[in-house]
Homo-oligomer: A and B are copies of this chain.
């Protein structure tokens, strides 16, 4: 539920539940036990310990106390908002079948960690991609994109298109993006990455209370396969290169599986 005051927006129901209302005065919540979740615990302390005193104050004093409370909680609040927004996107992607199937159980588990959320992730793929003369990748240029081994007949079919100046056959490794609430959690990702022998990735963005991490496998194949209307290679040659791409993808998935197990050790 969202409520707007001049100058501040309180959109997070988990911090400001219905039971708090400036106009109605504070009411004590029904909760009996102190919650373990940090934000809920702060809320509990605020409602159970501070609110009885606050109820005797004027409205202006309450607003000042609220602002102080907000400032203290802003860091947590921002992260919670980011996580909520990313989890909403994750749910939509799940509904639309856009999340790589082999990643779903892992992502659901890792997203239960209070200090972590996942954003865009890919298990690794084989694709035929249309590029312009500058070889820049643009949306909707995937002629073929599969998160599994690919058959020669699929490649042959994809090569029929004449829409693009160039077609490339690519095998790309897994790529993960995570957000963490603190540097300590981000460091755990880095430690596991190093131990697991994952060579690429790191913390690529830090802002407010949010650390964004990228982790990438290293199995890569990329080769031009059609320029203009001319397929560059014979069927036999394409079969050999495709076999290599499939092998690389297999190796990528093996590495990914072991890596996911390790990542789930982060609390």
Contact = CB atoms under 8 A, between A and B. Distances in A.
Interface of A: 134-135, 183, 187, 190, 193-194, 200-206, 213-214, 216, 220-224, 227, 232-233, 237, 240-241, 244, 247-248, 251
B202 A203 contact: yes
A144 to B, nearest CB: 18
B206 A183 contact: yes
B202 A224 contact: no
Nearest to A223: B223
A199 to B, nearest CB: 9
A206 B232 contact: no
Per assembly, the copies of the chain total 2
A32 to B, nearest CB: 41
A187 B206 contact: yes
Given A222-B221, A237-B232, A241-B224, A190 B205 contact: yes
Contact of A221 (B205, B223, B244): B223
Contacts of A223: 221-223, 241
Contact of A213 (B134, B202, B224): B202
B190 A204 contact: yes
Given A183-B206, A190-B205, 5 more contacts: A190-B203, A203-B203, A220-B220, A223-B241, A232-B241
